[in-house]
Chain A
């Protein structure tokens, strides 16, 4: 896999794709980011499989220190917490390749709008998250009685957009601090809470077997769409100031 497929003049989209491709080539060669994300996901899932009591009925109630919840609620919660933490592990590393040897300076001086830099990095982060989900969700479906229908896929797509949009922005911000791996969760968690609450609520309903049409029509779906739009716009606009 070559980092630069073919030389020649490129526009905004071409340069953006080139930068995203560069990140993926570097990951394929170095395997620095994705393996830790996958190992983390697998470890949490296996731990959950051995910890939870009978999960054969998603509607069964589980007693928690703060009340009771259905098995579907617990599974949805753990599923998205795993995605959240695995994602942050990856995002925290996403600007490492630019910091090393001062490549970020060279990158900031290429004639490409900052939105291109942002989108390229967001596309790479999205690829990592999708790879984790393609691994995690089937493992979850094997270990627990959950269905992965079109509704779950729709929720995953919406969560990924919001998560990557704001995660990439905060990763750029955290990359400029000394304790970036600690700073990223501190910065991103409060902002990501609405997206992941919506994701848990929607996924839990789908795991309980509620019709996709009913779930999509519920308020949480609209909230997720609204936050995606806000985060995508804020991410693209604020990136320029953050990266400089």
Chain B
């Protein structure tokens, strides 16, 4: 369980997050909101990549910080960029991050298969279309089966087939105790499997809803 208490982030004079309070429960939660609502900022704070100007973020009572190596081993994050090296092939990128996370080649192949990139694994990441890069980025974030998954616009530039594969990969990752937060404009794609939803507007949470057992996702 992740507890966010009074988290405030400002960029110069712009307030990105206004004293957010949130209890993030295990399961996948959709994070929705218009551009500039603070979705990406909240994800970066949760990944420990951005230190908030105020407030605390704890995971099972332990403060979250990217300086903590044990925390880093348990978080999977895909931001706006793909996080891939253009001159390495998709497979080499996943093998690299797999090796850094202590994951073997079999898992790399499994992830390539899951996001539908096995045939294109040998292509340099720089030669992929924006949509295929997105899929590869999701595969990289899921590679080490993180306990905390943070995806920023994983459906950007994806066609229906690609979006379906990304959704399948996220559903396959879901397991008891794991916490996932998926920020997207395409609420339709996430609502099919999300356990809850958060709506951000102007850096404030205007809605936080957790599905009841009767509404359980498929």
Contact = CB atoms under 8 A, between A and B. Distances in A.
Interface stretch (B1-9, B81-89, B177-185): B81-89
B100 A18 contact: yes
Contact of B70 (A8, A100, A111, A240): A111
Contact of A110 (B49, B87, B97): B97
A101 B140 contact: no
A142 interface: no
B86 A101 contact: yes
B66 A110 contact: no
A108 interface: yes
Interface residues of B, number: 38
B100 A3 contact: no
A8 B102 CA distance: 6
B111 interface: no
A114 B108 CA distance: 25
A97 B81 CA distance: 13
Interface string B75-110: 111011111111110001001111111111100100
A110 B98 contact: no
B67 interface: yes
A103 B99 contact: no
Interface string A95-112: 001001111011011111
A175 B67 CA distance: 20
A4 B96 contact: yes
A108 B66 CA distance: 7
A179 interface: no
A42 interface: no
A22 interface: yes
A7 interface: yes
Given A102-B81, A103-B81, A111 B98 contact: no
B165 interface: no
A30 interface: yes
A29 interface: yes
A105 B77 contact: yes
Nearest to A4: B95
A9 to B, nearest CB: 5
A240 B99 CA distance: 22
Contacts of B133: 101
Nearest to B124: A29
Nearest to A5: B99
A103 B69 contact: no
Contacts of B189: none
Nearest to A111: B73
A145 to B, nearest CB: 42
Interface of B: 47-49, 66-67, 69-70, 72-73, 75-77, 79-88, 92, 95-105, 108, 125, 133, 140
15 contacts: A7-B105, A22-B96, A25-B88, A26-B88, A29-B87, A97-B85, A101-B81, A101-B86, A103-B84, A103-B85, A105-B77, A105-B79, A109-B48, A109-B76, A114-B67
Given A4-B95, A101-B83, A111-B73, 18 more contacts: A3-B88, A4-B92, A7-B99, A7-B105, A9-B102, A10-B102, A22-B85, A25-B87, A97-B87, A100-B81, A101-B84, A101-B86, A102-B82, A103-B85, A105-B81, A105-B83, A111-B69, A111-B100
